[in-house]
Amino acid sequence: MTQPSRVALVTGGARGIGAAIAERLAADGCDIAVMDLDPAACADTVARIEALGRRAIAVAVDVANEASVQFAVEAAEAALGPPAVLVNNAGVLREKTLAKMTLDDWQVVQDVNLRGAFLMCRAVQPAMRRLGHGRIINLASIAALGAYGQANYAAAKAGLIGLTKTLALEMGKSGITANVVAPGFVVTPMTAAVAERLGVTFEAMIADVVRDMPAGRPGQPEDIANAVAFFADPRSGFVSGQVLFVAGGPRG
């Protein structure tokens, strides 16, 4: 049976994992607000979604800024309708060991990865409550279990898991689910930039990561998008407060 049209907001949707998620949700029948700091960077993602026959718009948002988030959510709703799906994918890395990490390194990562998800969730929940239906999917990371040189990122992603589980408790009676997809190593521009900052080739980084990975390959953005699509599906209403690690096998 064909599902009714739904509206999904995807932060960090211009490229990488966010773009793959936006396209997969569009293929599943969603109209998409592709949200990113630079709306011009969303043009390719928007075009690919429109080629699938769905509506799509690019929306500028600084997820760490309360006013920007409120304006962006209102703009998306005015253009497409009330959001039924929110995917908090926007994130940044500033990898340093604790001894070298500045307060700014710490705070920027918290602001984008954790504060940003909180602000987006808070902004969409009135519309979802009015609909009597909603799907919130937050992108954490296997780093939430601990990651060398990423105390800021690990703390933010672990906090995101706690936030999500609490939202599942608070919003369940309104028909809203909240779940976490926690990727392992995925081939994206962000991970390529990490290799560059470390002074190694991306190919060498991938080979090192894959060496101990049961799946024998790195993750691709589509792997994460497929997991998000499960949680976003209208038929997943009895699944909430869960963390799905998409990491090519168990850790340790």
* Confidence label for 102 from pLDDT (cuts 50, 70 and 90): very high
Per residue in 117-171, pLDDT (tens digit) is 999 999 999 999 999 999 999 999 999 999 999 999 999 999 999 999 999 999 9
Which pTM value belongs to this model? 0.94
**Per-residue model confidence (pLDDT) at position 193:** 87
Domains of the chain: 6-184+219-245 (3.40.50.720)
Q: Give the residue from 11, 10, 13, 15 showing the smallest Cα distance to 191.
A: 15
* Confidence label for 47 from pLDDT (cuts 50, 70 and 90): very high
User: Over the chain, what is the mean pLDDT?
Assistant: 95
**Per-residue model confidence (pLDDT) at position 2:** 44
d(CA 109, CA 106) in angstroms, rounded, equals 6
**Per-residue model confidence (pLDDT) at position 4:** 52
Q: Specify the higher pLDDT residue, 41 or 250.
A: 41
d(CA 241, CA 166) in angstroms, rounded, equals 8
Task: Write down how long the chain is.
Answer: 252
- Check whether 1 has a pLDDT greater than 70: no
Per residue in 196-234, pLDDT (tens digit) is 888 899 999 899 888 888 999 999 999 999 999 999 999
List all residues 6 or more positions away from 135 whose beta carbon is below 8 Å from its beta carbon. Answer: 84, 85, 86, 176, 177, 179, 231, 232, 233, 236
**Per-residue model confidence (pLDDT) at position 5:** 59
* Confidence label for 190 from pLDDT (cuts 50, 70 and 90): confident
Residue carrying the six token digits 């999904």: 8
Positions annotated as catalytic residues are 153
Contact present, 58 and 44 (Cβ < 8 Å): no
Contact present, 34 and 10 (Cβ < 8 Å): yes
Rounded mean pLDDT of 53-73? Answer: 98
